[in-house]
Amino acid sequence: MTRTVTLSDGTVLPALGMGTWNMGGIQGEQMDRERESLGYGLKAGLSVVDTAEMYGHGRSESLVGEVLHYNKADRFVVTKVLPENASFERMEAACTTSLRRLGLRCVDLYLLHWRGTVPLRETVEAFRRLREKGLIKRWGVSNFDVDDLMELERYIRPGECAVNQILYNLEHRGVEYDLLDAGRFRNIVTMAYSPLGQGMALLQHPALQKIAARHTTSAGPATPAQIALAWVLRQRNILAIPKASSLAHLKANIAAQEINLTQDDLAELDAAFPPPVRKMPLDMI
């Protein structure tokens, strides 16, 4: 069954979306593969596409715009404003530039990429003005820890901040100590970025290989990446956005939703990647 999350305004989204960092940078066959992967994902119902003005200085947004132009499937487009553009004066120009690249009149979700020097209260006012002007449907934040959410709460109405996008995977479990619950408590959906550990050391871990050997999906024998993704996706209120430039990876990620980890699997993962026992500073990439 396709897992979903529900935003504070009642919008229901698939819990598996698509990241696009580093996409759109290399012309030719690589970009063809990226177009193919994103297009396939949209058709398969992965409507949430995550990008940012920062990614490739706009090249990721342009690629997403191109894919959306040729694909009429449901879409829910997320992009992010850089901290230096998150002021009352600069945010509208940054947003309209992103919209032009994306070929959209309105973005579904606009996130503050991380906190900078612009006061949070001012960023909130800037988001509100874009919403009033119809340039964004809703807004959220990224790389916010519990104290940041508590400060934000002082300036907003309940439910106004839709999402907090944070680093979350088996290697980075610190957020389980308090931040995941802080989001649930405030009706803020957590978007888990880099759920596959950027495809690096995590996927070589023997524990993941051992557990993968015990599972299969409709796409074939399970892989360590699918186990890592299934582990993130098993949790309520979390939307994961792995990046897959290749169709094979994208299909594997879709099939990972079929995997139900057993209590034994979860215990083995806890032993290999221990959960936090105290407050940890929020990791970010």
CB 76 within 8 A of CB 189: no
Q: Which stretch binds ligand NDP (CB under 6 A): 7-15, 180-188, 245-253, 268-276?
A: 245-253
Element (H, E) at 177: none
Residue of 12, 201, 271, 285 interacting with ligand NDP (CB under 6 A): 285
Site for ligand NDP in 196-215 (CB under 6 A): 196-199, 203
Nearer to ligand NDP, 135 or 192 (CB): 192
The three-state secondary structure class of 246 is: coil
Residue 131 class from Cβ within 10 Å (0-12 exposed, 13-18 middle, 19+ buried)? Answer: middle
CA dihedral 183, 188, 189, 193 (to 10 degrees): -70
Interface with ligand NDP, residue 54, by CB under 6 A: no
Residue 35 touches ligand NDP, criterion: CB under 6 A: no
By CB under 6 A, name the one of 19, 24, 39, 58 that touches ligand NDP: 19
Is residue 62 involved in binding ligand NDP (CB under 6 A)? no
DSSP H helix total and E strand total for the chain: 10, 12
Considering only residues 7, 21, 107, 149, which one is a binding residue for ligand NDP as defined by CB under 6 A?
Answer: 21
Tell me the three state secondary structure of residue 12: strand
Residue 186, token pair as written in the block? 């405030």
Question: Can you spell out the DSSP letters for 120-167?
Answer: HHHHHHHHHHHHHTTSBS-EEEES--HHHHHHHHTTS-TT-EEEEEEE
Q: CB of residue 140 vs ligand NDP: minimum separation in angstroms?
A: 10
Q: How far is the CB of 98 from ligand NDP (least distance, A)?
A: 14
Residue 276 phi, psi dihedral angles, 5° rounding: -70, 145
Segment near ligand NDP (CB under 6 A), from 63-71, 193-201, 206-214, 275-283? 193-201
Q: Between 41 and 182, whose beta carbon lies closer to ligand NDP?
A: 41
Q: Which helix (H) or strand (E) element contains residue 39?
A: helix 29-43
From CA 144, how far away is CA 275, in angstroms rounded? Answer: 20
Contact between 252 and ligand NDP by CB under 6 A: the answer reads yes
Write the interaction track for ligand NDP spanning residues 66-105; mark x where CB under 6 A is met and - where it is not: ----------------------------------------
Considering only 149-157, 208-216, 231-239, 240-248, which stretch makes contact with ligand NDP by CB under 6 A?
240-248
Q: Which of residues 107-166 bind ligand NDP (CB under 6 A)?
A: 113, 142-143, 165
CB 20 within 8 A of CB 245: no
Question: Applying CB under 6 A, which residues contact ligand NDP?
Answer: 19-21, 50, 113, 142-143, 165, 193-199, 203, 223, 225, 241-246, 249, 252-253, 285
